[in-house]
Structure 1
């Protein structure tokens, strides 16, 4: 029974990947949200399947890290490979792929202060230009937010759609600092609702961002 379930799951995963996997990853990379991707798929797929596909893509491509950038941790992902026997019958074999990053990094640690560095959005844009977005990350705790969290009210519609469309893990993760996440972070920061850490791997800078002081403090 377990073997049959394994084969059914493997076949389901392979069919989904063949029908939608490439399209989902391509549309996500173009900037579409999960909901927008679902609306454009040639073959219908549940929100959960699309979310899982996008999240795996983000992990595989290093768009989201589970460990702090510059650590020595390894990551492992599972893939299914189709093989054929001598009679041409297809079977599926599961393989584990392990990758290791280039840490450790000896960081130059700094602190962001808007009175000294100006607007956070301009500061982060400048740092990303200096370092490159590919290896710039920011800590993110959205998976720990509660449904009634008042920070939701600070975000525009597309920001809420982006965040709600992903299966965030209940932990702090490290999100590559592309334009979308920078806008969300800056919106929260401007309203006194974000503190965290930025990592610029190429220039080896680790920058702490604290919530801005409220007037009179």
Structure 2
């Protein structure tokens, strides 16, 4: 199992992400007039971000690593800290803001998002180097907080409406649930990132097993939701 993961982890991850992105693009016309189309944008974005995530390995294989060696982008952590966590929050906020029909909830979402952006920017200004040298626990927890806010607003609003009787038919239910569970399962691992080294293969394999399992469930669930759910105009 360990040897299999060492050789195939990235292939399996890219494959499930590619499958979700392709399914989204095939079904884009179905959702082109509703907010759920931004899920398809996100799936394509996520696939290319993960491909870009391996740029240190690409450069090493081409004997061009010296181009970034000793620079801030020598490691790929900035992609996760800035583009991934930031991208997830922006996507989930925008979708829930668009579909919310409660003015108070929309205001709450807007001000929470503004607070998130301010804290993110201030942290980046005063801890600029940390965004490039390791997976950042502050950014991860801050993003988890905003994801909790977005999902909570959706759940409360759906509980207060007639949609509660058919919540399982809503693609927005699967979007919020998948992103919330993904964050809850993945963010705690960030605190143990210091152990992510070939000097400790036990942790590396454990992390890959968790990431792969969560990502497969995450992307397959969203893919099935895109196929089975109907577009909602709200």
* TM-score relative to the length of structure 1: 0.27
User: Which structure features the higher share of helix residues?
Assistant: 2
User: Which structure features the higher share of strand residues?
Assistant: 1
Q: Which has the higher contact order (CA 8 A, sep 6+)?
A: 2
* TM-score relative to the length of structure 2: 0.25
